[in-house]
Amino acid sequence: MSHEGSPLGKDLVGIEPLSADQIRMILDTAEPFKEISKREIKKVPVLRGKTIVNLFFEASTRTRVSFEFAEKRLSADTVNISSSGSSVVKGETLVDTAKNLEAMAIDMVVMRHGASGSAKFLADRIPSNVVNAGDGRHEHPTQALLDMLTIRDNLKTLEGLKVCIVGDILHSRVARSNIYGLLKVGAEVAVCGPQTLLPFDIGSLGVHVFRRVEEAIEWADVLNVLRLQLERMKGGFIPSLREYNRFFGITNQRLEAAGKDILILHPGPMNRGVEIDSDVADGDQQVILDQVTNGVAIRMAVLYLLAGGRPESAEAAKAGGAA
Amino acid sequence: MSVRPILIRGGRVVDPSQGLDRPMDVLLADGTIARLGDDLDAPEGAEVMDAGGKLVTPGLIDVHVHLREPGGEHKETIASGARAAAAGGFTTICAMPNTEPAIDTAAAVGFVMAEGQRAGSTRVLPVGCLSKGRAGQELAEVGEMVDAGAVAITDDGSPVMDSGLMRLALEYSLNFGIPVADHPEDVGLSRDGAMNEGLVSTRLGLRGKPNASEDIHIVRDLLLAEFTGGHIHLQHVSTAYGVEAIRQAKARGVQVTAEATPHHLILTDEAVEGYRTEAKMNPPLRTAEDRDAVREGLRDGTLDTLATDHAPHHYDEKEAAFDDAPNGIVGLETSLGLVLTHVVGEGLIDLSIMVERMSLAPAQAFHLSGGTLAQDSVADVTIIDPDLEWTVDPKTFLSRSSNTPFAGWTLKGRATTTIVDGRVVWSL
């Protein structure tokens, strides 16, 4: 597949390498694709004849399913390869996996892997387009894009908005991709969480750091509440889930104390009663299911653009033209 | 041993042990430095080498290399490592004991000695384990290993986490007159870190090893050396605080020697950008501030010994995601060129100090023969062309491995002849 014409280059391995214009282009390209999912027949022939492999080395339901819907709605042929644990443990190295994919002449690979940098590793070694669906603690670019689209849908703009990411920043690829993306498009970004779960000198990335979640809520227009991986407690990063909820949980009480409208995002899956209380998760400030819906549109846009589709032709493409 | 005498004629002799830095002739006979002087006559049957325009130094010594045999022969063997050392200008190397099985008995030490002799190249001297099986529990049979030829003890590859064991090792080593070499790292702090903990690790989303993980063990080791009177040899120092702590301990008279590696003198954690596994090692490349402190430590002698921590790995092992790749880079064939180009060449130290750090000081730290061209000393000599420009091409390495971050670098200066015991073991 030629990627000469792709306005994104060959791959999407992260948000950090993208320009603000490229980010806005992806968001804009997603707009017309939203409508396809609302049709009776949710299919356009944009990627007909293209083969996409969804290569998931870590368990994931929602991201994999979201990519698969996006691929199928664009009429691509898809193959899912799931494997729990590291491929190295299984005996086949990532480089052999890459070579095998290359030998099967596939067009695109969507990969999730537990090692930071694995997406770039694969992208550097195969001619197919590579889309990073999460690499270790590094980046999860489509998640950040769908988060940005959801914020823009609800608040009309990203520029000048104050977005605070709450929770385990240290282990979070979602946090890094959101930080890079939001800063590029002109939002202000903060993080808040236990200091044990913040990376070294995170402030140097250009974000504010709040020690108390109340202060973060006071400051923010948008809260992006990260899932607290339950195994972090075993790692000793926090003393208990109960205490985490007590000091960092997003509760109605805390939101009401701020006395203003705050948009609540969560990349899912949620631990109700830990990082987010049910009354918030089901409340009227959250847009969590909008995120899920937008996820499919964003992934369609990314696949379309990587396949060489022009952003200005997306409207026509959804009517039936190929990329 | 009946080898032809060698007369090295007209080279610039740089020998800090005698305060020499001027053109002289050097005559080697019967495995020793027979004479040093001006316009020496070649004895009958002698091989005469013209060293005009070249440096003639005591043979270079690397007290920190991993030769992987037994157990890791796909990465390196004692013979291939010795040949790589010879090509890099080294006449003696000290092999770390973290092999499989580990070198923790006299018999194992004897194996390394015998294989080194069989290779007939650069002299290979074994370093024995500090603890049985490198398990960090009980002292290995240090006395027997020293009798068999071990020149130091260490659990390198792993730190000694039990401070009580380190105390015992430092005390017991006093009976045998050897240094205790330590890889200083508190693994409780470094956990499963893959690189330096800093801005780059934050951006790349890689787990970090903080400076403090190294500093704590450096300080611990210095305290224990001071308390016991034992000789601690701190390996591959990479942090600014560590350098300063050693500087202060030396001023107090603590028995401490310490290493700087070429990569910590030249690179920073920025080299990891792009998840380059060839820049993954332990201790990791750190910040520019740390690198500058290591450079200053080398200059003022706080870090008295230049060592490569030559750590070969098969390319398959390094061709992996960053987290999955093993630590370490090869160094024997690039060390001298890197130091001449980026340390001496940039004016940090002069040639005399370079020879001190790469030959005299390591010989003294590990009580080895060599490190000098004084009459009657062992005929270990390195001849260096300081002006020779060359490009690092791992394909040409004599090492079995090619894992280096310096591939493609153009360097100025290279060993052209390496002489061990009066015998040429390598020439360009």
Distances (CA, A) of B5 to B11, B52, B401, B421: 17, 19, 35, 11
B323 touches chain A (CB under 8 A): yes
Give residue-wise pLDDT tens across range B105-149: 999 999 999 999 999 999 999 999 999 999 999 999 999 999 999
Q: Do A116 and B204 touch (CB under 8 A)?
A: yes
Which pLDDT score is estimated for A3? 53
B273 touches chain A (CB under 8 A): no
What is the distance between the alpha carbons of residues A42 and B122, in angstroms, rounded to a whole number? Answer: 72
What is the distance between the alpha carbons of residues A53 and A51, in angstroms, rounded to a whole number? Answer: 7
Which pLDDT score is estimated for A56? 92
Q: Do A93 and B320 touch (CB under 8 A)?
A: yes
A77 touches chain B (CB under 8 A): no
B321 touches chain A (CB under 8 A): yes
What is the distance between the alpha carbons of residues A275 and A194, in angstroms, rounded to a whole number? Answer: 12
Counting one residue from chain A and one from chain B, the pairs whose CB atoms sit within 8 A come to: 73
Q: Do A138 and B204 touch (CB under 8 A)?
A: yes
Q: Which residue has the higher pLDDT, A74 or B191?
A: A74
Q: How far is B380 from chain A (nearest CA, A)?
A: 44
Mean pLDDT by 10 residues, chain A (323 residues): 73 98 97 88 90 91 95 95 60 77 91 94 94 97 98 97 97 97 98 96 96 97 93 82 95 95 95 96 95 97 93 77 49
- Of B199, B204, B210, which has the smallest distance from its Cβ to A117's Cβ? B204
Which pLDDT score is estimated for A4? 58
What percentage of chain B reaches a pLDDT higher than 70? Answer: 100
Which pLDDT score is estimated for A60? 87
Residues 146-205 of A with CB under 8 A from B: 173, 176, 199-202, 204-205
Which pLDDT score is estimated for A320? 60
| Nearest residue of B to residue A134, measured between CA atoms | B205
What is the distance between the alpha carbons of residues A13 and B406, in angstroms, rounded to a whole number? Answer: 26
What is the distance between the alpha carbons of residues A311 and A155, in angstroms, rounded to a whole number? Answer: 23
Q: Do A136 and B323 touch (CB under 8 A)?
A: yes
Q: Do A201 and B198 touch (CB under 8 A)?
A: yes
Q: Supply the DSSP string of A5-61, one letter for each residue.
A: T-TT-S-B--STTS-HHHHHHHHHHHHHHHGGGGSSS----TTTT-EEEEEESS--S
Residue in B15, B104, B309, B385 annotated catalytic: B309
What percentage of chain B reaches a pLDDT higher than 90? Answer: 98
* pLDDT at B1 exceeding the cut of 60: no
Distances (CA, A) of A321 to A3, A29, A36, A47, A310: 18, 15, 14, 10, 12
Q: How far is B160 from chain A (nearest CA, A)?
A: 23
Which pLDDT score is estimated for A2? 45
Q: Is position B309 annotated as part of the catalytic site?
A: yes
Give residue-wise pLDDT tens across range B343-400: 999 999 999 999 999 999 999 999 999 999 999 999 999 999 999 999 999 999 999 9
Which pLDDT score is estimated for A1? 43
Instruction: Decide: helix, strand or coil at residue B240.
Output: helix
